[in-house]
Structure 1
């Protein structure tokens, strides 16, 4: 467990986020109103016509001008005239397309004629742009809403941290925390020693089988053995060696290795590739460390008794059993809060609790959260 000192970042501010969301929504609504004024179908028709006209301009401007390709000149005039004639009479800015058609309906077409034609449909292009602008405006709204939601998430996280600080600030720092920490430390020390001794002598297949069984104990967080490694140590004589011996074999050359294992190829394709996993096997998943919540310690202790009993002496197992008794203490939560407070609270945090800074920050954040939530709902 840890308690952060850092407050929610102040940039961008809530005011900036709310203003951006409001502006983005107003822009989207203004564009939507403009599209509605023309009609969705009419705007789409203009956009299609502008797209096709621009395609024709781009395709034929070089070949149909001056003394260029006569066939291209005829093709262009025919296709552009057909485009204009196909436009409904009511389509917005139809006059611009007719003007563009007149500009290119010449015996010869110059570059200036193409420029006049493009200029003639420029206002239609602005109508066509409404669709892209609407999409961009919606993206702006989405981004603004996402930024507000991210800020709300950050506020909620910080409020949780402040609530934890206040809870720890209420801890009884005069409580006899050693009544909790010392039994846990005695157990942790004993289980580390017992596990290290076990690893020194036990066949590696037995060690990996032990770790494999912890899949039935969800609070004991061992990484399960790789299946091919587990299969190898179960089916080859090298699995009868302790872990340190197996790791030393992994350093041998092929010729030297053949004197120690019956199938060097099987060994080399299985054990060295899992060297990192084998090196990391240790007792830590069997330790408790900082006191967890009472319910968690109660269940963890039961799992530890079952697993530790497979390799440790009765004294170590008995220490694991005492953990269950610890978790049943009526004052467990009070002692645990004091332990966590001693460990987690910095002097700056204690001072902030004493002078009211923590509560003041929480109140500011609650007000900011309310303002942001209203902005999202409107």
Structure 2
């Protein structure tokens, strides 16, 4: 059977992630075996001597050759001898180090001799290079695991999206969602009207105090009033005016404003620069969204909303909010909510893909790809 575009899209990157992890794990295992063949500690000791000898060759090449500095020549041979004296019996390539020492203990050294000594060191360099190979293999393996985990996370998110899409596709689109919508709309209309009146008629210092106290309720997302604005309405007579009047003052010229407030400069500094905040202040943070929250979340929203709404609205609005809260106790709440969510969020293209089975195919492919990565991660455990 030919693979669909959905299968190809979902699996893109998955075979590569699994293959890279397998290859990196095998490379690490080979590198580890090559080190263990000699012994990590022994290789590290060998590498230290190798590096010191190599550095001596680099440092004295040109100074201890030919008719150069005799003192440097003697110093070089002495340091090489000291380095190779009393080498551990089990040191890898011990004989090679001693051969190099014997070779360098000549009456006269040339640049070719230094080059020859480097060639004699070359096999030791290859040997101690196993440690670097292991370090590199370990880093590549960690990177492959990180990439595989990232891909698994992407697939997990996609699976969640597809499963949610399937649930929406299973929703009863003909369910009587008005049983939820009507009480919510009644409350939203009532709280919007109440807040509009509150904003229009309440002294700004009192209105902003209510908004400030709302910060104690995380689900009520009013933006806290700017501190300079709060200070102004509390300390100046203009704070007894409602918010629309303050906004009107902010549009006055300085000469006209002097006739209405005690400190025109203070008003312009505190209010005129924050007109956008004041103009956008509305009931949206205490309105119930449509589609509404899940049944276990709705009571929490209503509880926190009530604590704020009761400060600016009458009992009829609070009662309307109470009716909304009681919706969560309905046996059919989640079914009606799923229908509302499906009607609101499912696009025509998504409905077509659900009807054609494309979503189910994509979900199956995503689960298969995720399982392949999971198996690989379990097989090649973290170092």
| Structure 2 length-normalised TM | 0.83
Q: Quick one: structure 1 residues 38 and 262, their matched pair in 2 at CA, closer, same or farther if it must change by over 3 Å?
A: same
Q: Quick one: structure 1 residues 261 and 59, their matched pair in 2 at CA, closer, same or farther if it must change by over 3 Å?
A: farther
Aligned residues: 372
Alignment of 1:1-378 (within 5 A): 10=10, 12-225=12-225, 230=230, 233-235=233-235, 237=237, 239-243=239-243, 260=261, 262=263, 268=269, 281-290=281-290, 291-378=292-379
Distance in 2 of aligned mates of 1:318 and 1:213: 22
Contact 1:64 1:72 in 2 (8 A): yes
Shift in Å, 1:282:
3.5
Q: Quick one: structure 1 residues 265 and 304, their matched pair in 2 at CA, closer, same or farther if it must change by over 3 Å?
A: closer
Greater mean alpha carbon deviation, residues 323-332 or residues 76-85: 323-332
Shift in Å, 1:44:
0.7
Greater mean alpha carbon deviation, residues 242-251 or residues 306-315: 242-251
Shift in Å, 1:272:
7.9
Shift in Å, 1:265:
7.7
Q: Quick one: structure 1 residues 56 and 277, their matched pair in 2 at CA, closer, same or farther if it must change by over 3 Å?
A: farther
Q: Quick one: structure 1 residues 84 and 333, their matched pair in 2 at CA, closer, same or farther if it must change by over 3 Å?
A: same
List alignment gaps of at least 5 residues for structure 2.
Answer: 1-5
List alignment gaps of at least 5 residues for structure 1.
Answer: 1-5
Residue 61 of structure 2 aligns to a residue whose secondary structure is helix
Shift in Å, 1:229:
5.7
Distance in 2 of aligned mates of 1:96 and 1:255: 98
Shift in Å, 1:38:
0.7
Distance in 1 of aligned mates of 2:156 and 2:284: 33
Residue 294 of structure 1 aligns to a residue whose secondary structure is coil
CA RMSD of aligned residues (A): 3.4
Contact 1:233 1:240 in 2 (8 A): yes
Contact 2:13 2:151 in 1 (8 A): no
Residue 329 of structure 1 aligns to a residue whose secondary structure is coil
1:15-35 deviations in whole A, cap 9, x for unaligned?
Answer: 222221111111111111111
Shift in Å, 1:341:
0.5
| Structure 1 length-normalised TM | 0.84
Shift in Å, 1:219:
2.2
Distance in 1 of aligned mates of 2:365 and 2:10: 12
Distance in 2 of aligned mates of 1:373 and 1:118: 48
Q: Quick one: structure 1 residues 238 and 132, their matched pair in 2 at CA, closer, same or farther if it must change by over 3 Å?
A: farther
Distance in 2 of aligned mates of 1:7 and 1:210: 54
Q: Quick one: structure 1 residues 349 and 266, their matched pair in 2 at CA, closer, same or farther if it must change by over 3 Å?
A: closer
Q: Quick one: structure 1 residues 281 and 102, their matched pair in 2 at CA, closer, same or farther if it must change by over 3 Å?
A: farther
Shift in Å, 1:190:
3.6
Distance in 2 of aligned mates of 1:57 and 1:226: 71
